[in-house]
Amino acid sequence: MRKTSPLRSFALQQFVGVAALGLVATAGPASAADAIKIGVIAEAQAIAGASIPQAAQLAADEINAKGGVDGRKIEIVSYDNHSSSADSVRAFQRAVNEDKVNVVIASYISEVVLALEPWASRLKTPFVTPGAASNEISKSVHADYEKNKYTFHGYLTSAALALSICDAAKDLLVDQKHMKTAVIMSEDAAWTKPLDVGYEECLPKIGLKVVDHIRFSPDTTDFTPIFNKIEGAKPDVIITGISHVGVQPTVQWKNQQVPIPMFGISSQATNETFGKDTNDAAEGVLYQGVSGPNVAVTPKSVPFADDFRKKYGNYPSYAGYTAYDEVYYIADAVKRAGSTDADKLVAALEKTDWEGTIGRVQFYGKDDPFTHSIKYGKGLITGLMLQWQSGKQVSVWPKDVAKSELKFPSFIKASTN
């Protein structure tokens, strides 16, 4: 999920991943001669972004092992964008002009995706984001469809994320814990502006009065003044919108024994490495996800997560689930289109109806304000709430996939337990 704020630099590394070729007795080997090339531009050194190229590669390996797409191999060409919009643009240009990719999967950062959207138009290359949330991505497609139709928003918009958080908060916080007040705490970024607007609109409707609203720079290293201010407001819960940060506020929340639970978006918390990254300070943190370990959102969810962990050593971040699904429904679109022609592929992607690891994926059409964003709602994508409990990510909402009840750390005030 995200954005125009300064972003922390990550270690430089660029690599090219090539999909492994599998053989199936009935289908025969996928052909490398006429490969379907998918460029993957991602934050390979970021906690939330590292899963993107890994998951894409895993999907390609599986598809190739079953004969590819009508005998054509899926080839993943990966680029580390170092969390930089400029590097991402250069990678996109190289992917299309030099490496001759047919479609691009790119970034969980909204600022990056918004910078790439015009290039998808100029280079007439279908482009899907696995994790950026800014409403402006799909609104731009709606505002100028012919120009921006090549961009697909393969993740929930900020507006949909706010609804998902409020739906979960109504059941878990208001109905179960009888909470009444909240403070919104979000990083200052493109994706959180509409997210916070959504929070301010839906939280009061479910019975949570917003008593303060704090936006902070993603470069913040000391959250003590922020937590002190929040404690002074005495809310029942902190509703979060954090993605580029995560480790630092979580560690300080635990070390300072802030007696208020955190609930909302925390992109880094979706990756299994977050427990170690925070030295187990993540215990009790609640976060929204589109899937998670041992959560059978669909029959594909658990096998993918387990296979990912077996191959890479940890469960994926939220953007790993979406990137994996994207490779599959791009392959499906190529098969249905019978072509990798850009316009034909766009038309086929618009008709996507794919059950992936996160639910049933369909895209909003031209007449919807969020054109080409994945649809939110029952029977489609609704999201989950998970909590770090005993060092593991455990689903707590919705009830049909919940594995545990809420369990807060001992320093959380008794009135919330």
Question: Quick one: average pLDDT of 225-241?
Answer: 95
Q: What is the pLDDT of residue 32?
A: 56
Asked if CATH classification 3.40.50.2300 holds for the domain at 31-156+298-361, the reply, yes or no, is yes
Question: Quick one: average pLDDT of 107-124?
Answer: 95
Rounded to whole angstroms, the Cα distance separating 383 from 165 reads 9
27 pLDDT above the threshold of 50: no
Where in the chain are all domains bearing CATH 3.40.50.2300? 31-156+298-361, 159-289+383-416
- Tell me the whole-structure pTM to 2 decimals: 0.84
Percent of the chain residues past pLDDT 90, beyond the cut:
71
Q: What is the pLDDT of residue 22?
A: 31
DSSP collapsed to 3 states, the chain: CECCCCCCCCCCCCCCCCCCCCCCCCCCCCEEEEEEEEEEEECCCCCCCCHHHHHHHHHHHHHHHCCCECCEEEEEEEEECCCCHHHHHHHHHHHHHCCCCCEEEECCEHHHHHHHHHHHHHCCCCEEECCCCCHHHHHHHHHCHHHHCCEEECCCCHHHHHHHHHHHHHHHHHHCCCCCEEEEEEECCCCHHHHHHHHHHHHHHHCCEEEEEEEECCCCCCCHHHHHHHHHHCCCEEEEEECCCCHHHHHHHHHCCCCCCEEEEEHHHHCCCHHHHCCCCCCCCEEEECCCCCCCCCCCHHHHHHHHHHHHCCCCCHHHHHHHHHHHHHHHHHHHHCCCCHHHHHHHHHCCCEECCCCEECECCCCCCCCCEECECCCCECCEEEEEECCEEEEEECHHHCCCCCCCCCCCCHHHC
Q: Which stretch of 18-22, 179-183, 349-353 has the lowest confidence by average pLDDT? A: 18-22
79 pLDDT above the threshold of 60: yes
281 pLDDT above the threshold of 90: no
218 pLDDT above the threshold of 90: no
Q: What is the pLDDT of residue 270?
A: 83
Q: What is the pLDDT of residue 305?
A: 94
* CATH of the structural domain 159-289+383-416, one choice from 3.30.365.10, 3.40.50.620, 3.40.50.300, 3.40.50.2300: 3.40.50.2300
Q: What is the pLDDT of residue 9?
A: 36
Q: Which stretch of 23-32, 169-178, 257-266, 400-409 has the lowest confidence by average pLDDT? A: 23-32
Highest mean pLDDT out of 18-27, 89-98, 182-191: 89-98
Question: Quick one: average pLDDT of 245-261?
Answer: 88
State the pLDDT confidence band at 90, using cuts at 50, 70 and 90.
very high
Percent of the chain residues past pLDDT 70, beyond the cut:
91
Query: Each residue of 282-322: pLDDT tens digit?
Result: 889 899 989 988 899 999 999 999 999 999 999 998 899 99
Mean residue pLDDT across the chain: 89
